[in-house]
Structure 1
Amino acid sequence: MINKSVVFLARKYLSGRKTRGIGKAHYLCLIGITLGVLSLLCVTSVMNGFRFDIRNRITGTFAEIRISAKGGETIKGYSAICNQLQDMKFSASPVIRNELLLKYDSVVLPTLCFGIEPNRHKNVSSLLQKPDTGSKEIIQGLLVGNISPEEFSASGIALGAGLASQLGVYLGDEIQVLSPMFNVPTAFGMIPRIRFLKVQAIFAAGMPEYDQNFSFMGIDN
């Protein structure tokens, strides 16, 4: 049964005071509500697109699932585990992550370096692949250079675009890679481990915090 008070209030506020039609104030209210709903739809669409773009950049940089040993220990027999995952139609790549220092001339910068196997890692990340230059999206992948598995594993390093710019290096330049840990014994005491690596590639992740901090080298280094 319809409540008579509800009908009375609806007629009173939807009709004008002198006429039985809808008043001008009510038209303005309807227009305001319509504009508010349209604005909400626009903002929601933009936020959904932004979230989709950020998610693609992150998953394009890192694998969607990461497995680590309890206590941060190194996983032994990782090659066999990767092969088992590939047999199950999954892509897998071993990764060692470490904080290092990069030195070129008088410039010294910290980096979060990932030790990888290029042949496997290209299946879980787009950073070491040639980007689609015809795409309208922000470029993610190799800007210059090419990853040769043999040379890269022996003495190569790939730098983020921002990191390479701050160091002032380009393809073919040789940089010093230093471990912040003093763990090499000498006659003069403990010194950090130092390697000389050649810049083999420069990549873009599409996110400044990644481009300015990330680097890749062979897992054996």
Structure 2
Amino acid sequence: MLQRSTLKFLKDLRLNNNKAWFDDNKANYQQAKEDFESLVQQIIDGLARVDPGIEGLQVKDCVFRIYKDVRFSKDKTPYKANMGASFAKGGKKSPYAGYYFHLEPGGNSFVGGGLWMPEGPIIKKIRQEIDYNFADFQRIVGQKEFIRVFGKVNGDSLKTAPQGYHEDNPAIAYIKLKSFIVSNHVTDEAATQPTLVREVLRTFAVMQPFIQFLNSAQDE
């Protein structure tokens, strides 16, 4: 579970996103950071027991910095008003599909995962894997529990079929995707309950065959 003070810090940061306020509240930030990192460690411990790709990950391999890179952004506020952690083989900068937890008060927290905007060679392999093994992919994303938890696979889509594929391909809706993402909403109340880690791991368990399918394309 997370402390309510952690959510309060992020809410206050959203309203006071400037260096002067952040410096004055550095102790509150440190407390929130340690609270979130404690949660991440518990998730790593639980996830590593069922996914060998997570074994050996450390908290620093998973947690994203709160400081924003504003060099190329119109939004010049210096801090993220959220905390996030990615759990993937090789860590948060890995090209592999993985699991993700996002904490953002105000109804914006979620448990998610998949692969966001993979590079050309990787997405070609994934498209080929879906094409060759579409029946297996359908079984994964068509399971009742998968649909109940996530609905469907999301991601920006190409307007036309990529080179080498035709519009009448039964898997074309997935082959056109540029990202392969699933997510499940987490309320502020749920984020502060003792059951949080258990629920996150349960959601990841439903997601795991989907993650394994995406990664199998890279491992071949």
Same fold flag (TM > 0.5): no
The structure with the larger Rg is: 1
Would you tell me which structure has more helix in proportion to its own residues? 2
Would you tell me which structure has more strand in proportion to its own residues? 1
TM-score (norm 2): 0.22
